Chains A and B, each alone.
Chain A
Amino acid sequence: MPNINLKDGRNRDARVRAESVGERATVRYVDPQGADVALHKVLRATAEHGYDKLKAAAGGEDEALARQLVAEDSDVDFERIGMFLAGASRVYLNRAGEIVYHIAETEVVRAPSGEEKERRPRKRPEPNADGEIPVSWTGRKLAKDEALRRFVFSSKLQIVHVNGLTYDFLYGMAKELHEANCLMLLGAGKSGKEPLIFTRHSTPHRGFLEGRIAGDRYVLLLHLSKMELKRPAVVETVAVVQAAVQPVMATVVRVKPMAPQPAAVMPEVVVLIAPPADVGPLPVAAVGEPKISARMAMASKMRKPTVREVIAATTAVGRSTGTETSGTETSGAKTTGPETAGTQTAGAKPEIAEALSVGKAAKSRRGTSATAGGEPKTPASKRATKPKPSAAP
């Protein structure tokens, strides 16, 4: 089991043990005589006796292959089939079935809908729980009852002392958390906020420390989670609304960033009847973002927004973008403004997204886009796939 370099709330740190607490299997199988049996991995078929190889050997014709199988049992290697497989290795084969010694691995990141979002060289996370930088308390406490309703704790490690000094150290931690009746979020890395990685290439987990005491005995339990307890987002709905929001952000910014807009200067409002045809890959709802309900999205498509909604939306945009886009008004070349604003607004206030979704139609109806100068260079499809960094591990 791994060690962990742990730092408490008083910045004291020590290396201690993190023990597995998983239960071992209690069910086993016996033969009719009551004797134990063993499970073995055995060879069923080799690559050289696969369909493609045999077909090629039979001249590429299925009929010939069938005759050969009946006559010679050429699909069975009597010398090797059934042998126990122990100490086997993982290898990569090219299309010719030859072992490849130099490979390049690419990660293909897919959204919950299955759509491809990104391609990148494979990342291989290195352990960070037992390095020079200790895993530390972030100071963020969650009541136990709240934490268990927000996160799925898929595994646990019990933190155990390794000598007298670390007993005092860990007991003090457990006592503090026990009295606070809460879990403490732990963080790794220089920032002290990174998820925990215990072994090479393993999935990072968020760690929550729980303490219990009984007399001079203690339990310090590290709950590990890689998933929140929440319903999957309605991705289609989000895609429609966000795609409609982003172009109009530039329009609003160019009019006047900070000031509320009177109804008279607002672009003509037209109901968005159908989702735009150029909706890109579906985005992942970022953690902490309010969900845009299907009902709300449907409503935005079915009715005209009120003037109050449009003004409220415009005002909110001005507030959220005012600082960053102050130079955009005159230059028209600052292409990052609209993208930033779009992301912020879409994630911050669903009602804004709803009201702004009508602006997409307004823009398309005007033909020449007021956002031409400030339109982000990134295609809408790509922008829609840039979620906020998720707090999820």
Chain B
Amino acid sequence: MARLLEFQFQGHAFKCGVDKVDREALYGRVDVETHDRNGSRCEIATLAADGRTLITSGGTAMGYMTADGRWIDRSELSPVDVGGNRLNTMPSSFDHAHDLELRASPERFLDHSIRSAYLLVPDEGGMPETFSAELEGGAIFKFDFSWRGGVSADPAFVLKGGDGAVWLLVGAENAIDFIGFTEAKALEPDAEDAPAGDDLDFEMM
């Protein structure tokens, strides 16, 4: 059962289920199997830097450490922004209604990279006619979305796709700036163009 998102549009409330669509759902997937010379299946593992510790799946963990090397539980940590200001947590987007007031132009939408695509399926009540008409006319609505809740939300867009379906696209904004003549960048050097360094051989002379 898809989870329901609640929206408000010009005083009309409606709910939509969200169904994730990814590459695997559209095109399938490619699994890689690894075999040894005898044709037996191999498993991937990790070899630690000491050259003798073999670690199989599930053998590693992530942990937070203080500056003096003390392990600290995640629950004792606080999220802060770049300036060091404490951040408040926000609820999941499924726990409250979203006003669809903000619209985005195609250029504004294209400033974002899309991470997840969800089909929006209205519940029995359907979508308000005015909202459907706006989507039909090409409107793109923007709101903040957070699946689980947390300290930050992602920009999300509601629009009608080329296939006629209504989509929820969740992404992240990119830092895109106009550049001028004086802002030229350097090309990344090719591997073969790299300085020879210690490979210089004076014996050949």
Interface residues of A (CB under 8 A from B): 1-3, 15-17, 19, 21-23, 26-32, 34-48, 50, 80, 83, 85-95, 97, 99-100, 102-113, 117, 122, 144-146, 148-150, 152-156, 158, 160-164, 166-167, 210, 212-214, 216-219, 221, 223, 226-233, 284, 390, 392
Q: List 19 A-B contacts (CB under 8 A).
A: A17-B186, A22-B174, A28-B82, A36-B67, A38-B67, A40-B63, A44-B60, A50-B59, A90-B47, A92-B34, A92-B45, A93-B44, A106-B33, A146-B162, A149-B160, A155-B113, A214-B178, A231-B119, A232-B21
**Closest B residue by C-beta to A233:** B26
Whether B162 and A149, one on each chain, are in contact in the complex, defined by CB atoms closer than 8 angstroms, is yes
Query: In whole Å, how far is A119's beta carbon from the nearest beta carbon of chain B?
Result: 8
Distance in Å: Cβ of B193 to nearest Cβ of chain A: 11
Q: Which residues of B contact A155 (CB under 8 A)?
A: 113
Contact A218 B114 (CB under 8 A): no
Q: Are A37 and B172 in contact (CB under 8 A)?
A: no
- Establish whether residues B35 and A106, one from each chain, have CB atoms under 8 Å apart when the complex forms: yes
Partner of A31, one of B72, B106, B113: B72
Chain B 106-146 interface residues, beta-carbon cutoff 8 Å to A? 106-107, 109-110, 113-115, 117, 119, 138, 140
Interface centre among A1, A19, A36, A37 (most CB of B within 10 A): A37
B159 interface contact, C-beta 8 A: yes
Which residues of chain B come closer than 8 Å to A148, judged between CB atoms? 106, 109-110, 140, 159
Q: Which residues of the other chain, A, contact B41 by a CB distance below 8 angstroms?
A: 95
Chain A, Cβ-Cβ closest to B79: A27
Q: A21-B176, A29-B74, A212-B107 are in contact. List 16 more A-B contacts (CB 8 A).
A: A17-B186, A28-B79, A29-B78, A41-B60, A92-B43, A93-B44, A94-B36, A94-B40, A105-B35, A110-B30, A112-B28, A160-B183, A223-B110, A229-B169, A230-B163, A232-B25
Q: Across the interface, do B66 and A212 meet the contact criterion of CB distance under 8 Å?
A: no
B196 within 8 A of A: no
Contact between B42 and A92, CB atoms less than 8 A apart: yes
Q: Is the CB of A39 within 8 A of B62?
A: yes
Chain B interface extent, by class: 35 or more
B residues less than 8 Å from A213 (CB atoms)? 178
Contacts of A219 in B (CB 8 A): 176-179
Q: Is the CB of B28 within 8 A of A284?
A: yes
Which residue of chain B has its CB nearest to the CB of A103? B34
The verdict on B194 contacting chain A, using a C-beta distance below 8 Å, is: no
Query: Which residues from chain B contact A212 at a C-beta distance below 8 Å?
Result: 107, 178
Stretch at the interface among B6-14, B48-56, B92-100, B197-205: B48-56
Q: Which residues of B contact A22 (CB under 8 A)?
A: 113, 172, 174-175
CB distance from A44 to the nearest CB of B (A): 4
By Cβ-Cβ distance, the 6 closest A-B pairs, closest first, are A217-B178, A87-B49, A47-B54, A21-B174, A92-B42, A29-B77
Contact indicator A47/B45 (Cβ below 8 Å): yes
Chain A residue at minimal CB-CB distance from B41: A95
Interchain CA distance A188-B40 in the complex, whole Å: 38
* Cross-chain contact A144 with B107 (CB below 8 angstroms): yes
Residues of B within 8 A of A217 (CB): 178-180
Task: Assess the A152–B185 pair: CB atoms within 8 A.
Answer: no
Contact for A94 among B42, B173, B177, CB less than 8 A: B42
Q: Is there an interface contact between B174 and A38, defined as CB atoms closer than 8 Å?
A: no
Q: Which residues on the A side are within 8 Å of B115 (C-beta)?
A: 154
